[in-house]
Structure 1
Amino acid sequence: MSRRTFLISGALVAGATALPISRPLTSMASADGSWLADSVMYQIYPQTFADSDGSGVGDLQGIIDHLDHLQWLGITAVWMNPIFSSPLTDAGYDVSDYVGVHERYGTQDDVVRLVDEARRRGIRILFDLVAGHTSDQHPWFLNSLNDPADDRFVWATPDQFPNGELPENFVASPGPREGAFLKNFYDTQPAINYGYARMNPDEPWRQPIDAEGPKRNREAMREVMDHWLRLGISGFRCDMAGSLIKDDPGLVETGGLWVRWRPGSTTTTPTRCWSRSGATRRSRFRPVSTATSSSRPARHGGRCGRTTPTSAPTAPARRRSSSTPGARPRTPSADPGE
């Protein structure tokens, strides 16, 4: 299965729901996201980047401690792999709380400090947004398991099974709700219901994109983005960005959704979004931007898109934690998408 991703940047939406944080910050993002075109981006996998307390796992303080090194390299933006609360069955790409920070990495106060310290060095922070699915431990899914009327996820009832068998990519309900749910990647990652672009009488579980469930999910994910933008981050790298609206030829409806989701945007506001693809089953996800640029996001693995000196000033040794079972890096293709 492919993982399609792109970047979305923008300013904070006025009137967005505010969640408790110690010190709100204004995002560095410009209204049109033009800064992204010339950014030098560096990917950080927090678990293995820098361990500040000897726990064996990297953390937010470890990133803060090495911001001077990133500044020296000429880095202007950092994309961080997920730090949300998670059971870590897929390296944090199985989110159990979109507005919580996993305790292994730190707290929301640490996020505020990271953004502030990075800003002082001219570095923007982008988070990895997993918008297409949650963990099977997320409260949304746990509630859906107990409420047959809940349509936050895509469910098929037993009488809808073709020939009495599970539909493709569906996972049998662990109960008490009968039937099966659609997964997005692993069995522990139920797909959030954003609707289907086309109806199919052979798949009666499909809902249109303007159904109540998809509408509620769009609003909820926008609130998630607003929350992190209020802490000062500049945007998001979006995981499996093309997976939201199902059976969407040419990703027309999905692309439109991302344009509407862009904080502060209207349907005519220029936005800069890039895709990255690994092994894909369909053509690459094209930009949904009305702006064009020859610039590309930085390559993966901490590589950046600008030539740097062959030697660096002496820096303190950085301890790297070893990977733990069930928590591996998610590395996108080194070949940027169109």
Structure 2
Amino acid sequence: MTESMIRPPIKKLAPVKWMRTHLFSNWFNSLLTLAVGYLLITSVGPLLNWLIFDATFQGSGPDDCVEAGACWLFVKQRLNFFIYGFYPDEFQWRVDIMFALLAAAFVPQFIERFPGRKWLGIFGMTGLPIIGCVLIPGGILGLEEVGSSKWGGLMLTLILAYIGILASLPIGVLLALGRRSDMPVIRGLCVVFIEVWRAVPLITVLFMASVMLPLFLPDGVSFEKLARALIGITLWQSAYMAEVIRGGLQAIPRGQYEAANALGLGYWRKMGLVILPQALKLVIPGIVNTFISLFKDTTLVLIIGLFDILGAVQSTIADPAWQNVAIEGYVFVAFCFWVFCFGISRYSQNLERKLDTGHKT
């Protein structure tokens, strides 16, 4: 029986005793509990009034909003722009299909006994990007082409994060293996790559990819701004991913390597069948934290003229008619980011519990 399977008995306390133990155990904790309780009582009510009870949900324009509450009418009227950016209305069904496929692939991952959950996850990581490359830009199979300059809003945020995550993970694995390689040339190249990209802020990477990179390309060779941003984000993120995975590789006991060698496994079979599965399991929190960081860092593409969901909100706030609704716009953006980041975090916790099979040395 492994160590993780031996669970200590859970001691249940009555509500009053629990409060005495955790909230009023001494004078300092009691004072802190009362202070926090007072802040909650005095702030939750006004906050709910502003968010819901005194808020404006219906109307025809900014004049219908009242000062006492939030003007969610602003979000309602500009929701299409926040989701799709400048994507043509008559082709937004393509984006809706991608949203539906994304939900169909990953929402079942939260349901333990959902049939075919594994295959849906594989589809989300392999088939979904291929379908997206056909539907979103168009230009093939009779679909009218929509340039990336018209992409924006939440759609663009998800594209940047999704492609960045899918591409940076395998590159990070290869870089981590290369940094621990016995071949000096490969190890040196990986070390230089990782340290250089980790030393450069993402905002600098985006600026270089958007402004400086075209100056070094041969005549007649060019990449769209979105493609250059995706390349920069992927390479930058893969350097951080490599260090997270390298930590997992270093945590594997030497006996695991020796056991794989004793079985006569080659390098790639040893890594793929013995070492990497254990290493990746150990660093799930670090990998997920890197994914969440990347998802939030996509807002930096605004500096190179790509309007993600935050850029779409900021451009709308600049409209003189909606200048007094900045808080509502930022609250909406924060809520969208919280939904996705919280979902990623919860899935990682479920995955950790499922893979918690103990660790033998």
Structure number with larger C-alpha Rg: 2
* Bigger RCO of structures 1 and 2 (CA < 8 A, at least 6 apart): 1
* TM-score clears 0.5: no
Q: Which has the higher strand share?
A: 1
TM-score scaled by length of structure 1? 0.26
